[in-house]
Structure 1
């Protein structure tokens, strides 16, 4: 009979790495893109499936797909 580790089962439900929304600022032509994060910093990510000026989901340093262009609000609590 094997033991069941509830913590490991819970961790398996959560995807690895955080997912962020960024604006694609350039396609590099070598399978990577430049993405601008909300704080203004630019990062290089894998993938060129999202066009320049569009929002993309970035997870684990890779473009995962197109993100909806929704209004953004900052609320201080």
Structure 2
């Protein structure tokens, strides 16, 4: 009889790593891009699928796709 680990099933539903929205500042031509985080930090990421000047989803140091241009609001609690 096989046992079922409910915690492992639950963890399988959640993708590994956090997803961050970045602005692509340059495509390097070698399979990597430069991306700027919201705090102004510039990082190198794998992937060139998003053009410079557009927002992208970054997960695990890799460009996952284009992110929508949405308004950003700050709220103090």
TM-score by length of 1: 0.96
Alignment length (residue pairs): 77
Once the two structures are superposed, the pairs formed by residues 1-77 of structure 1 within 5 Å of their partners are: 1-77=1-77
Query: Runs in 1 of length 4+ with deviation above 4 angstroms?
Result: none
Q: Deviations over 1:46-65 (max 9, x none)?
A: 00010110000001111010
TM-score by length of 2: 0.96
Alpha-carbon RMSD across the aligned residues, in angstroms, is 0.7
Q: Deviations over 1:1-24 (max 9, x none)?
A: 111111100000000110010000
Q: Deviations over 1:9-46 (max 9, x none)?
A: 00000001100100001111100000001111111100
Q: Which runs of 5+ in 1 are unaligned?
A: none
Q: Which runs of 5+ in 2 are unaligned?
A: none
